[in-house]
Each structure stands twice: as structure tokens, then as C-alpha cells.
Amino acid sequence: MSYIKRILKQIFAGGTNFFLALLTIALVLTGCTPSEQIPPNPECVFDDLGRLVCFNETPERIISLAPSNTEILFALGLGDKVVGVTDWCDYPPEALEKEKVGGTWPPDVEKILALQPDLVLASDANPSDIVTTLEGLELTVFGIKSIDLDDVLNDIRTVGEITDREVEAQVLTSEMVLGIQAVTNQTEELEQTLRVFYLLDTWGGLWTVGQGTFVHELIEKGGGTNICQNLTGYTTITLEEVITRNPEIIIAGEWAYDWAINATGPLGSTNASQTERIYTCDDDLVQRPGPRLVEGLEWFAYFIHPEIFDEPED
């Protein structure tokens, strides 16, 4: 955030003498910044990991430790400031050209240090000890944890604030809100919703989503009823319970789709299987808490209510 913007925020917060602030701004505008007399105060913001993170200057060298963070940074026009990303950061295509710092679990600390970042944008997908280690090495680490769609929107705005891209963040989130409303304006008028089961993966059990996840919100806002709405977070459910709840729509992750569509397989007796209403779409659109979640919502709405929604464009 710029020096002038910091002073203005302090004025409105009542933390700076009004006339001294005006004099300071005037000196800045005339090229006479009194940096020795009035040093800039850091901008401090709480991250989603409950840590107070302070910034003395606008970050110029940013490392992203999650694909969703990378998408947010590029969407805010910060691609030229991104100096490192994880092995899984593949969108937008320009992200593939960035230096790799390992996976999200865990990233390579030595590579991160070598890139000399002034901001490491972490997520709850990163091991907590990595965040602690990087912080101990005097790196500025800011963590994001998006529970629901409101969290995603707020996190984008926060990233915009700490990178001096507040206007871009406001434009982006406003566009996202309009996209969400375009869907919910139609689904909220429905007299009947369909039972939906989201199958995230089959590794180690049937992984699904309950309350407190943005994928659950995509189901509900898309005009469905999540058959796992009594559960919380990302969790497993037994096959017997899925069959008992008899979903009318099954949306499977790309890794689980082949297993789900096996007509003679475990889900063969469900209404969704018998009516051939088992679908999949790009996992990244619905599993990454970033700007493309609106596209994921459009796909969910189309799967659940094709009589209302057209197939989204790729």
C-alpha cells in the first residue's frame, strides 16, 4: 500500500494528527517526502490462520504455495510479481512458466529462500510447521483458508489489500457476485430441488462434502439438496448410506468418475445411476477456492437443472 494511502487511512482511523498528515501528503506530492522525520507505519492484517502479518511496503516478489492462491494473484494482475509457484499451479497457462518450489505438502524451503520473496502466500493446505519455519526465517507469510463462498470473496479482497490491488479485487469480486446471483435468481424460485451426491474421491473410502464447504454451497445454490448436508467439512460416507439416501444426481470428481458410472457397480441401484445422471467436470473449477468457482457453480446448475440452464462454454 502506498505511503499516502497509509496516511489517509490513519486520518480516518483517528491515529494521525490531521494537519500534520496534510502537511506530509503535500510534501510527498511535491517530492519532499519527510522519510527521516516520519517513517512509514506498517500495514498489519490478520490472516486466516489467526496471525497478525505486517507489511512495510507493497510486495514485489511473491511466492504462491497453493494453486488457488496462484489463480487469485494472476486474476488481480499480479502475474509479473509472482516469482514462484507449486508443482500443481497450472492455471493460468502463464503460471507454468514460473519457478517451481515443490508441492503444497510440503514445499521446498530452500527453493523458497533462494527466490528471496517479500511475500509468501500460503494456505491451510500447507503444513503448519512450514509456515512456522518460513516465519522463523524472517519471511513475510500470509495464510488463506476459505471455508465458504463468502470466505473466498473476502480472501480475494484481502489479497488485493495487501498487494495494492484493491480496485482490481473489488472489480473481480463484484463480477463473481453477479455470476452467483445470475444462477441463484433462478434456483431460488424452484419449488423442488433434487438430491445430489458429490463424490470427491474413492481413495480410502467415499470422500464427500458436508456443511461448511464451498462445494456444498455450489450444490445448494445450483438448485440441489446435498444428501450429506448433515455432515461437516470434507469427510467420508459409507456406500450403504449413499444407497439409502438414493441421490438423483451424482457429480463425481475426475478421479472417481469411472468408478461412479459403472452401471453394474456399487452405485448401480441409485436413481442417478439408473437414469444415467452421473456427471463430472474439471475438478479445478469446483475444488479450488478462487475466481473460477463461479464457472463451477454454472456447471453444477446445468447438471442439476438442464431444463433451466444451458451447458457452460469451455
**Residue range(s) defining the domain that contains residue 99:** 42-145
Residues 25 and 93 in one domain: no
How far is Cα 235 from Cα 148, in angstroms, rounded to an integer? 16
Residues 59 and 23 in one domain: no
- Cis before 92 (ω within 30): yes
Q: Is there a contact between 161 and 169 (Cβ–Cβ < 8 Å)?
A: yes
The DSSP call for residue 197 is E
Task: Tell me the pLDDT band of 41, cut-offs 50, 70 and 90.
Answer: low
In a domain, 168, yes or no: no
How high is the pLDDT of residue 39? Answer: 41
Residues 299 and 194 in one domain: yes
Cell matching residue 167:
480496485
Q: Is there a contact between 84 and 100 (Cβ–Cβ < 8 Å)?
A: yes
| DSSP three-state, residue 54 | strand
Residues 35 and 133 in one domain: no
Residues 201 and 135 in one domain: no
In a domain, 176, yes or no: no
In a domain, 160, yes or no: no
How high is the pLDDT of residue 314? Answer: 74
DSSP 82-118: EEEE-TT---SGGGGGSEE-B-SSSB-HHHHHHT--S
Which one has a higher pLDDT value, 36 or 167? 167
Report how many domains make up the chain.
3
* Tens digit of each residue's pLDDT (9 = 90 or more) over 153-208: 999 999 999 999 999 999 999 999 999 999 999 999 998 899 999 999 999 999 99
**Listed residues 41, 56, 73: the one ending a domain:** 41
Residues 32 and 55 in one domain: no
In a domain, 91, yes or no: yes
Residues 139 and 210 in one domain: no
Residues 35 and 76 in one domain: no
How high is the pLDDT of residue 89? Answer: 97
- Percentage of the residues of the chain whose pLDDT score is greater than 90: 81
How high is the pLDDT of residue 73? Answer: 98
Task: Report which secondary-structure segment, H or E, holds 219.
Answer: helix 214-221
Q: Please say if the pLDDT value at position 32 is more than 80.
A: no
Q: Please say if the pLDDT value at position 71 is more than 80.
A: yes
Residues 236 and 273 in one domain: yes
Residues 139 and 219 in one domain: no
Task: Tell me the pLDDT band of 31, cut-offs 50, 70 and 90.
Answer: very low
Task: Tell me the pLDDT band of 244, cut-offs 50, 70 and 90.
Answer: very high
In a domain, 311, yes or no: no
Beta strands in 20-170 (DSSP E): 43-46, 52-55, 62-64, 82-85, 99-100, 119-123, 141-144
Q: Please say if the pLDDT value at position 3 is more than 50.
A: no
For residues 23-52, one letter each, b for 16 or more C-beta atoms within 10 angstroms of the residue's C-beta and e for the rest, the string is ebbeebeeeebeeeebeeeebeeebbbeee
Residues 21 and 58 in one domain: no
How high is the pLDDT of residue 20? Answer: 41
* Residue 140: CATH number of its domain: 3.40.50.1980
In a domain, 12, yes or no: yes
In a domain, 194, yes or no: yes
In a domain, 86, yes or no: yes
Prediction pTM value: 0.85
Residues 9 and 116 in one domain: no
